[in-house]
Amino acid sequence: MTEGHLQTYVPLLIHMLVAMGLAGALLLASRWVGPRRPSRAKLQAYECGIPPLGDAREPFAVKFYLVAIAFILFDAETMFLFPWAYAFRDLGWFGFGAIGIFILFLAAGDIYLWKKGVFDWNR
């Protein structure tokens, strides 16, 4: 990569560093400033004001894990769209074709999961 190409990613890098720094600072501030008065009621799982039923360590159905994994995969893959959108004009038709193929792979994965019944909640 030339220095010109690296310069296009500097704003993205700065944005990521500021976001991570702010998140870390807010976590540390809440830990430092927040009250610490644990009680039995505060340590219970909160279920929208309804008293909890059963044990919180019951096994979940596999479909929840499959949806979570599919979300993480598609969310991580869509991160590749941001650098492409930033350099859209410079990439020309080759970049357009490459991202088109990438989106087709995403659509094929989504259709595969749909056909396998991952999103069917009544199973």
* pLDDT for position 123: 67
More confident position, 4 or 88 = 88
What is the pLDDT averaged over residues 52-81?
A: 82
Instruction: Determine the Cα–Cα distance for residues 30 and 36; give it in Å rounded to an integer.
Output: 11
Instruction: Determine the Cα–Cα distance for residues 62 and 52; give it in Å rounded to an integer.
Output: 22
Confidence of residue 48 (pLDDT cuts 50, 70, 90): confident
Residues 6+ apart with CB under 8 A from 95: 84, 87, 88
What is the pLDDT averaged over residues 34-63?
A: 75
99-114 pLDDT, tens digit each = 999 999 999 999 999 9
Cα distance between the two ends of the chain: 50
Q: Return the domain boundaries, the chain.
A: 3-116
Looking at 1.10.1060.10, 1.20.58.1610, 3.40.50.620, 3.30.565.10, the CATH number of the domain 3-116 comes to 1.20.58.1610
* pLDDT for position 7: 85
